[in-house]
Amino acid sequence: MKLLNQSLKHLSISMLVIVSLWSVVFYVVMISEIKESIDEGLENYKRIIVFNATTDSTVLSKTDFDAANYTVQAIGKDAALRVKDSYIDTIIYMQDADDEAPELEPVRLFTTAFENNGSYYQLRIINSMMEEDDLKEDLFWAVLALYLILVVSIIAINNVLLRRLWKPFYNLLNQLTSYRLGSGHKFPTVETDTKEFKDLQAAVNTLLQHGTESYEQQKQFIENASHELQTPLAISINKMELLLEKGNIPDAEATQLGEILESIERLTRLNKSLLLLSKIDNKQYLNNQPVTLNDVVKQVATQLEDLAEYKQVSISIDESATLIIHIDPALANIIISNLLKNAITYNVQGGNIHVVIATHQVSVSNTGSTEALDAARIFNRFYKAHNNSKGTGLGLAIVKAISQLYGHTLSYSFTEGRHLFRIAFKTR
């Protein structure tokens, strides 16, 4: 859930609670305020009536509420003296101007008693009240409208203000998402006055700085280490070759020496592959020029035909287009050679390899094991699908690294019993 929506959610819920509580308090206060005001009005009216009664005896004979809204009733002295001023909410039959027949209306009823010329009277005055249910309903709709306006306002504020406030954050996030260590891109920068975002940017950049430094050091280390290994490997191979050449070694020992030599040569291959990878990573292959991939495929296929023949694997090349790409020729050769060697090495006897050169892609499909390889790991360095393999486990990783270097897309799929490797070349 996005931060904007989270804050919207929390605000909406708390607003609902606040507005509801507020409306209850408001209702109670308003009702009591209204009653107070009505009661005051009733009392003032009472004073006038009581005062008038001293001079106007018709006041004392008023027994119906009708237009004047009060009744006066003579009562006994004892009863009169027990009366205390009271205000109550009640309902009486009344006929308002807009009513055809009398109907029950809520009223505020004020009861008091007074003395006039030695006689005692009970005075009752009424005042129409608004119906509380109507009031509640009106209030409910008003509160609901207020709530909706608040929510809409919050959404609007969220969308405009918060979006603008958080813009540097999302900007930074986007830049970080596409950032790759060692890509040589500039560190993410955002224009902002917000301290938190500035701090975030500084922290991120410090982290990236460290990351980039270690990445560069690591790349450089692998290259240096590989270089340093070349000379001792050369010494080992050459001395072993000379030793074997000298002869006079019993066969059993010679075979063991041969195995040692093979191991050293395997080590050499591994070292060369690592060196190649680190050179690709360090972008040391930049002798880019137009290379006709059709020629490369044919040339590599010729180089490998004896190996293929020995493994009884046939290679067919389908040139549906002439594919010219801009690449370092050595790397073009390595890509094709590694894909083809992979297809030959992990093929079955009597199998076949089909190379298709199309407008923007090259695909190499081959028969082989009947199960799909792990597409997620197949291009990883040192991943070996076959444990007994004497390969370096770097062949496909190198193809991947070269593809990445030039922005081409390398993919693997397994369909209809064939393993298919495809490079889709980036079109300019």
Positions in 290-309 near another protein (CB under 8 A) = 300, 303-304, 306-307, 309
- Written as one letter, the residue type at 173 is L
Q: Minimum distance from CB of 99 to another protein (Å)?
A: 32
Q: How far apart are CA 143 and CA 131, in angstroms?
A: 18
Pick the binder of another protein from 269, 298, 354, 381 (CB under 8 A). 269
Pick the binder of another protein from 12, 71, 73, 268 (CB under 8 A). 268
Judged by CB under 8 A, does residue 113 bind another protein? yes
Q: Which residues does 244 contact at the CB level (< 8 Å), separation at least 6?
A: 254, 257, 258, 261
Q: How far apart are CA 81 and CA 121, in angstroms?
A: 10
Please, are residues 107 and 90 in contact by the beta-carbon 8 Å criterion? yes
Please, are residues 352 and 314 in contact by the beta-carbon 8 Å criterion? yes
Rounded to whole angstroms, what are the CA distances from 151 to 92, 109, 392?
A: 43, 42, 63
| Among the residue ranges 130-138, 199-207, 264-272, 319-327, the one whose residues contact another protein (CB under 8 A) | 264-272
Q: How far apart are CA 130 and CA 134, in angstroms?
A: 8
Q: Minimum distance from CB of 156 to another protein (Å)?
A: 44
Tokens representing residue 73 in the block: 């009733």
Give the CA dihedral 73, 77, 78, 80, nearest 10 degrees.
Answer: 40
Judged by CB under 8 A, does residue 242 bind another protein? yes
For residue 298, the surrounding DSSP H or E stretch is helix 293-310
Tokens representing residue 187 in the block: 């560190």
How many chain residues are in contact with another protein, going by CB under 8 A? Answer: 71
Q: Minimum distance from CB of 405 to another protein (Å)?
A: 15
Pick the binder of another protein from 183, 189, 322, 389 (CB under 8 A). 389
In angstroms, how far is the first alpha carbon of the chain from the final one? 38
x/- letters, 63..102, toward another protein (CB under 8 A): --------------x--xxxxxxx----------------
Judged by CB under 8 A, does residue 405 bind another protein? no
Q: Minimum distance from CB of 162 to another protein (Å)?
A: 41
Beta strands in 152-306 (DSSP E): 289-292
Q: Minimum distance from CB of 196 to another protein (Å)?
A: 39
Q: Minimum distance from CB of 267 to another protein (Å)?
A: 10
Q: Minimum distance from CB of 228 to another protein (Å)?
A: 8
Sheet holding 361-366, edge to edge: 314-319, 352-357, 361-366, 418-424, 409-415
Judged by CB under 8 A, does residue 353 bind another protein? no
Q: Minimum distance from CB of 265 to another protein (Å)?
A: 5
| Among the residue ranges 45-53, 89-97, 101-109, 402-410, the one whose residues contact another protein (CB under 8 A) | 45-53
Instruction: Name which of residues 118 to 137 contact another protein (CB under 8 A).
Output: 120
Instruction: Name which of residues 316 to 335 contact another protein (CB under 8 A).
Output: 333-334
Rounded to whole angstroms, what are the CA distances from 269 to 11, 78, 258, 262?
A: 64, 125, 16, 10
x/- letters, 333..352, toward another protein (CB under 8 A): xx--xx--x--xx-------
> Can you tell me whether residue 361 is helix, strand or coil?
strand
- Residue closer to another protein by CB (options 138, 309) is 309
| Among the residue ranges 199-207, 212-220, 246-254, 347-355, the one whose residues contact another protein (CB under 8 A) | 246-254
Instruction: Name which of residues 177 to 236 contact another protein (CB under 8 A).
Output: 227-228, 230-231, 233-236
Pick the binder of another protein from 190, 274, 275, 385 (CB under 8 A). 275
Rounded to whole angstroms, what are the CA distances from 94 to 98, 127, 289?
A: 11, 11, 104
Pick the binder of another protein from 111, 352, 361, 411 (CB under 8 A). 111
- Residue closer to another protein by CB (options 114, 197) is 114
Q: How far apart are CA 110 and CA 44, in angstroms?
A: 11
